[in-house]
Structure 1
Amino acid sequence: MDMYNENENQWTNWAGSITTLPDTFCQPKSVRELQDIVIQNEGSIIRCFGSGHSWTPLVVTNGGILIDPTGITENGQKAFRWQKNGLNLVTCFPSARWADVREALTTDGPLPKMYLPTAGVLPSINATGFVAAGCHGTGWEQPTVSDLIQAIEFVAADGKVHVFSEDTTPNEMNTVRVSVGMLGVITKVTLKVDPMYRLWDQERLVPTAEVMGANPESRGGAIDSSKLHALVTGNEYVELFWFPGSGFDGSIWVKQYNRTQDDPRDIPLRTDDDWVDSMAGPVMQWSAQQPMVIPAVQALTWKTINDRVKVIESNKGFVADAPRVLHYQLKAFPILDLEVAMPIPATGPNAWDFSNVVKAWWQAVNYTRVKWAAGKYPLTTCLHARFTKNSQALLSPAFEPAHSETHYCWIEILSAYPKNDPNPNNRSAAMSEFDEMANRVVGEYWIKELKGRPHWSKYWHKISPPVNIKSLLPQANLDTFNSLRRSLDPQDIFLNPFLRKQML
């Protein structure tokens, strides 16, 4: 086990927007070493991290112990697939990123290939951290990835491994699915997966009004959500992107996927070393340092997307195994990301009210338009939406009671961030416009007025006045979760100041 002290401990998240300086930084290589760290702890706060893809201070310790468990494997394995009682399963250890899970599920072997029915986009994200934070993919009839958990193990405050599973502790599963690190350090998680399936990927550039209806500013506030309803409910998987470079009454990049038995029909658009992925990071960081070039960079970005989509459209889409379609982005550049789960309530059989999604979308577009006209750039990447079923996990932003027909839209704003700029004033300036949009659009409108709930790991800590999670989730959920949490961690060693404010 590696342990470090003093200034060499400083940790920064992937985006460069969160930094913490623990007293001790530990890198256990086994569950036993992890247990020893917890047992020998003398009351210090303990937090752990995965790949650092969070924008909220979930792992900030202000001293204490910060644990990197990503060296933990089992017999050298990061993940493996297996079957039990007719279920297809994959077990992941803290070392597994989604790329490792993909390899475990798709490598030739004695068992048939399998895959997740829904997944996050980036293969570089840590799998156990992903489920702990209640993360998601897309899929109208798919839950969050945390809802796929069949079994999960934690090293809790007593240093022991605590096991929860659908077989042995079914009544506690919805309590432990989303823990945000407050129950202990996850050492193993098993997810239910599907036999390998193919997706037919169709992509289009569609005038915004043909997806979201006409801009309500031009219709006296009137909302038309019928087109969005037809698109989302008529496809298994849908993602929507709006880039300011397309114009403020421009187009939405629509990605829609449906399962198919057709033979593969791939389009060789890119490889792992695709130059677009390689260049995107430096160009976007540069634009965040030089705001005057943002419109030109956005125009170039939109042209690149336009060219890609034209190739796909001309070939009537492509068909490939699920991982090829779901993990469409291979690399990522430092950004700021704030996301809200927006409820889509059912209004009858096969009918849902998408009006709040349309309102949220146009509010972001119209706010950005006004700011850009004034030479200010709060949104320099895109506005993005995905759609899922609700979640049964008690702390999920998409929580709904059992048998609820409410679905959710995960809508987010993303903006480039100059992570490598040595000038703190430049970094602060890049965040200031985004922070204002976070307050005006997300805090005041998406959350307060439209009743959205923020994604645990996506930047909502900067909203002012502060968002109170306790007012957004049912009190019974918090009581049930805290009852289990206090039994596993009576001294609150897994609560940092940020989480303490939210949960107690």
Structure 2
Amino acid sequence: MGQWFVNWSGSLSFSPDECAEPADEDEVRALVHRARESGRKIRPVGSGHSSSPLVRTDGILLSLDRLAGVISDDGRRASAWAGTKLRTLGEGLFDAGLAMDNLGDVDYQSVAGATATGTHGTGLGFGNLSTQLTAVRLVTGTGETLDIAADRDPELLPAARLSLGALGVITRVTLDVQPRYELHRRSWCAHVDWTLDHLAELQHTNRNMDFYWYPRSDQTQVRVMNRVDETQDQPAWPDSRVAGSPPTHTPRQIQVGPTHRTIPQHRELRFEEIEYMLPSEAFAACFAEVRRRIRDRHRQVVGWRVLVRTIAPDDIWLSNAYGRPTTTIACLQNTSLPYEEYFQDMEAVFRQYGGRPHWGKKHWLTARDLRPLYPRWDDFQAVRRRLDPDGVFLSPDLSRLLEEA
């Protein structure tokens, strides 16, 4: 057997038969051919930040770490190798005078892993990271190299932008980019009631806005970001665009810098997480029930916080924000504390309000549960079977997600 793989949080560990780190696309093709001929499964892996078992396999675990770096840019689009970490991508684009449109909280993910699982940031005007992809190159289950782009393959791109690694091994991506810019980031504390009362105002008057709720204190940390070149005359504190002042308005953080250094935040403490994407119109009722249940049932074991963000709708077939403005609720729990009973109770609430689970985080849904949530589910399955007819990438865990028993 090969070496042990352990994910970022430590909740997923397994020993694949083989660990491979191809240095180029020819080696990727050879690995896929070898897996197909021997009847083994092959799963690509990025940084291992995901806590869902998408990468688990007893076959070949294929790391993309050696396929890394920015390849080219023309000022509007940039191409990068799939294993490029978002931090490295951000620095490479910055050096070229460019930036991505939006990012999430984490920058040690690979660009292919982040987009393949629907990683997202926050902001009413921003989709998840997958929406920034305009083209991907992948090695299919038959070992063929396929270039999929918006202008050539409009029928395939909505599947390839967020594919869970089920269509093939993505080797390079092309993203929409823009001239680099700086963000002004501010955060402050306020009671949860104040934050909920002013939530719509905060979301509509800031480029990016999210908040953490701390169940044991009923306080929130509100975080907002705006472009520096659009907020020159705005006072740094307090946020005068929101009616009323937060009851507690000592600023916790004020930061100015380029997007890739301002949006992601470094974390030492590791955690488990469940996150569901909800129709925005259902958020208020859902959050009220989440708050009630945590306070009544789980407050004694909840050691951390609940995060609320927004995502713009998109047309990507397996996107959790497909076809609807989306508000997300994520429950975080320290890795040293129990989480299953707590998360499963939260999942029951999220499902009651039409939520879709984040593909890269904890959830307990199977294909039978998931299919009704995605209007283009069957279209994705048709593309998957076409590009991987022998199920080279279809591990048992992925099969439970994608194929009904």
**TM-score normalized with structure 1 length:** 0.73
Q: Are the counterparts in 1 of residues 186 and 251 from structure 2 also a CA contact under 8 Å?
A: no
The size of the alignment, in residue pairs, is 389
CA distance in 1, matches of 2:165, 2:260: 28
CA-to-aligned-CA distance 1:423-459 (integer Å, 9 cap, x gap)? xxxxxxx33xx211222222x2111x10010001111
Alignment of 1:190-229 (within 5 A): 190-213=174-197, 227-229=198-200
Partner of 2:396: 497
Does the residue aligned with 2:397 lie in a helix, a strand or coil?
helix
1:331 aligns with 2:267: yes
Which one of 89, 98, 106 corresponds to residue 122 of structure 1? Answer: 106
Partner of 1:253: 221
Does the residue aligned with 2:48 lie in a helix, a strand or coil?
coil
State the 1:209 CA deviation. 0.9
Partner of 2:51: 55
1:46 aligns with 2:17: no
State the 1:309 CA deviation. 5.5
Which one of 455, 461, 470 corresponds to residue 358 of structure 2? Answer: 455
1:388 aligns with 2:289: no
Q: Are the counterparts in 2 of residues 150 and 165 from structure 1 also a CA contact under 8 Å?
A: yes
Q: 1:253 to 1:81 in 2, by over 3 A?
A: farther
Q: Percent identity?
A: 24
Which ranges in structure 1 are unaligned for 5 or more consecutive residues? 1-5, 214-226, 268-306, 345-352, 401-405, 419-429
CA distance in 1, matches of 2:183, 2:72: 21
Does the residue aligned with 1:357 lie in a helix, a strand or coil?
helix
CA-to-aligned-CA distance 1:455-485 (integer Å, 9 cap, x gap)? 0111103x6x9972112112xx122111111
Which ranges in structure 2 are unaligned for 5 or more consecutive residues? 237-247
Q: Are the counterparts in 1 of residues 87 and 260 from structure 2 also a CA contact under 8 Å?
A: no
Q: Are the counterparts in 2 of residues 263 and 319 from structure 1 also a CA contact under 8 Å?
A: no
CA-to-aligned-CA distance 1:138-194 (integer Å, 9 cap, x gap)? 121111110111110111112121110112212321121110000011100111012
Which one of 303, 324, 328 corresponds to residue 410 of structure 1? Answer: 328
Q: Are the counterparts in 2 of residues 148 and 192 from structure 1 also a CA contact under 8 Å?
A: yes
1:440 aligns with 2:345: yes
Which one of 93, 97, 106 corresponds to residue 105 of structure 1? Answer: 93
Partner of 1:239: 210
Q: 1:173 to 1:122 in 2, by over 3 A?
A: same
Q: Are the counterparts in 2 of residues 80 and 104 from structure 1 also a CA contact under 8 Å?
A: no
Alignment of 1:39-438 (within 5 A): 39-41=33-35, 42-61=38-57, 63-73=58-68, 78-83=69-74, 88-107=76-95, 111=96, 113-213=97-197, 227-245=198-216, 247=217, 250-261=218-229, 310=251, 312=253, 317-327=254-264, 329-344=265-280, 353=281, 356-371=282-297, 376-377=300-301, 379-400=302-323, 406-418=324-336, 430-431=337-338, 434-438=339-343
State the 1:130 CA deviation. 0.4
CA distance in 1, matches of 2:110, 2:26: 21
Q: Are the counterparts in 2 of residues 38 and 158 from structure 1 also a CA contact under 8 Å?
A: yes
CA distance in 2, matches of 1:343, 1:309: 32
Partner of 1:288: none
Q: Which of the two has greater helix per residue?
A: 1
Q: 1:264 to 1:31 in 2, by over 3 A?
A: farther
Taking only aligned residues, the RMSD between alpha carbons, in angstroms, comes to 2.4
Q: 1:391 to 1:155 in 2, by over 3 A?
A: same
Does the residue aligned with 1:258 lie in a helix, a strand or coil?
strand
Q: Are the counterparts in 1 of residues 367 and 402 from structure 2 also a CA contact under 8 Å?
A: no
Q: Are the counterparts in 1 of residues 101 and 132 from structure 2 also a CA contact under 8 Å?
A: no
Q: Are the counterparts in 2 of residues 470 and 502 from structure 1 also a CA contact under 8 Å?
A: no
Does the residue aligned with 1:170 lie in a helix, a strand or coil?
coil
Amino acid at match of 1:324: R
Runs of 4+ in 1 over 4 A off after TM superposition: 262-265
Q: 1:57 to 1:94 in 2, by over 3 A?
A: same
Does the residue aligned with 1:460 lie in a helix, a strand or coil?
coil
Q: 1:325 to 1:467 in 2, by over 3 A?
A: farther
CA distance in 2, matches of 1:69, 1:117: 24
Q: 1:264 to 1:53 in 2, by over 3 A?
A: farther
CA distance in 2, matches of 1:201, 1:414: 22
